[in-house]
Amino acid sequence: MYETKCDVAIIGGGPAGLSAAVAAKKEGAEKVLIIERDVKLGGILQQCIHPGFGLTYFNKELTGPEYAGAFKEEAKKLSVDALLDAMVLSVDGEEKTVTCVCSEYGVTKIHAGSIVLAMGCRERTRAQIQIPGTRPAGVYTAGAAQRLINRQNIVVGKDIVILGSGDIGMIMARRMTLEGCKVHAVVEIMDYLAGLTRNKVQCLDDFGIPLKLSHTVTRIKGNERVEGVYIAEVDENKKPIPETEEFIPCDTLLLSVGLIPENEITRGAEIEISPVTNGPTVNQYMETSKEGIFACGNVVHVNDLVDNVTVESEKAGKYAAKYAKGEMPSRNRTVPSVCGNNVRYICPQTINISGEDEKISLYFRVMAPDTGVFLTASSAGKEIYRKKELRVNPGEMCHVVINAADITGDDVTISVVK
């Protein structure tokens, strides 16, 4: 078996892995190695040819390949190494080794000072949401259809229905329309939008594509190829109401019904996984429950904006470099971040109180939409943060920044209150 060494090994060369690699180099790690199963770096951004990336990080609007390109350029300048066409099979959290199989060296073992998990996420499929009906051709996940059209120039159909109002679904509604297809409807089971409002405006409203909230696909019709789908309104328990069922003739159904963090390797390394995010639990350094193993990007929690992914991943890269150099902040006391009123999850899940003067960024999602609210943080019964927010939505990540020194209690509770 081929064996090699590095200071920081990064699994996945998407925007998370690239930002972590650049940050690790800037923090002084000598040999930083990205291990990527694709033959190119860039991750999912390679197929996101639409604009909308970099608005907060670069203060300008870029396409996905342009955004990834900026980090690839930086990584090249800083001499970050990359092992491409290399599929990671396992991680040993105690020994800090990564085993992969790659076209260049076959089975390869990498001995690292620290490891960053940046494997992104994958889409939920028809099987996971159990749509009844036949099994014809013409049912795709929205991301797979996006890859086919944007990277391989293959249009998957002409008459489209999209299930799920997540960002990928709405972006694909616009993409298929621009390609000359008819998008009959975007169907969403919840009574609110799953993705960003800006995507509804730019991808649905601007093209007159109907959004059917509180509706779902009840059956697929067709033997060889999809001939149409039945949709129906749902009641408050998300059960279809039979008398509202209608048939939409179409040849393609695109599914945008959620993303699942890619954590088989994480589980194999016995790293703690949050049952809510399905990603590893992390502290403010993006360090997982195993010391020296860090995680960032969609493998931790599904992000709507790549800009947030970059900011979190820079932390993972910085502290992975510090760990490899033996310079981690002291571990004095750990407190959990607790979900208060209308908060579904918080990242990071734990905070290390090192005694240093430190600002802690907490990203979180709400459970239900609301307007005219305050985002608050409290510790030891005392409010330590309060910010007014015009509206909150489960599809859009919220963000608060608190001072570590203000955390005097045994936890920090984040709440969304009127």
Ligand X SMILES: Cc1cc2nc3c(=O)[nH]c(=O)nc-3n(C[C@H](O)[C@H](O)[C@H](O)COP(=O)(O)OP(=O)(O)OC[C@H]3O[C@@H](n4cnc5c(N)ncnc54)[C@H](O)[C@@H]3O)c2cc1C
Provide the binding-site residues for ligand X, judged by CB under 6 A.
11-17, 35-38, 43-45, 48, 50, 52-53, 87-88, 118-120, 143, 146, 167-168, 171, 262, 265, 297-299, 303, 305-307, 309
The rounded distance, in Å, linking the Cα atoms of 46 and 151 is 8
Helix or strand holding residue 111 (H, E) = strand 106-117
The rounded distance, in Å, linking the Cα atoms of 76 and 375 is 40
- Is the Cα dihedral 241, 189, 200, 342 positive or negative? positive
Q: How far apart are CB 175 and ligand X at their closest, in Å?
A: 9
Q: How far apart are CB 414 and ligand X at their closest, in Å?
A: 22
CB nearer to ligand X: give 269 or 309.
309
CB nearer to ligand X: give 42 or 228.
42
Q: How far apart are CB 299 and ligand X at their closest, in Å?
A: 6
Q: Are 15 and 67 in contact (CB under 8 A)?
A: yes
Q: How far apart are CB 126 and ligand X at their closest, in Å?
A: 18
DSSP string, 3-19: EEEEEEEEE--SHHHHH
Which three-class secondary structure state does DSSP give residue 245? coil
CB nearer to ligand X: give 257 or 305.
305
CB nearer to ligand X: give 23 or 407.
23
CB nearer to ligand X: give 52 or 157.
52
CB nearer to ligand X: give 29 or 305.
305
Q: How far apart are CB 54 and ligand X at their closest, in Å?
A: 7
Q: How far apart are CB 256 and ligand X at their closest, in Å?
A: 9
Instruction: For residue 282, give the nearest of 117, 160, 64 by alpha carbon.
Output: 117
Q: How far apart are CB 283 and ligand X at their closest, in Å?
A: 18
Q: How far apart are CB 298 and ligand X at their closest, in Å?
A: 4
CB nearer to ligand X: give 119 or 373.
119
Strands 106-117 and 2-11: parallel
DSSP structural state of residue 394: T
For 108, how many CA atoms within 13 A lie in the half-sphere containing its CB?
Answer: 20
Instruction: For residue 7, give the nearest of 27, 16, 15, 103 by alpha carbon.
Output: 27
CB nearer to ligand X: give 13 or 292.
13
Annotate 146-164 with b (16+ C-beta within 10 A) or e (fewer).
bbebbeeeeebbebbbbbb
The CA-to-CA distance between both ends of the chain, in Å, stands at 60
Q: Are 13 and 310 in contact (CB under 8 A)?
A: no
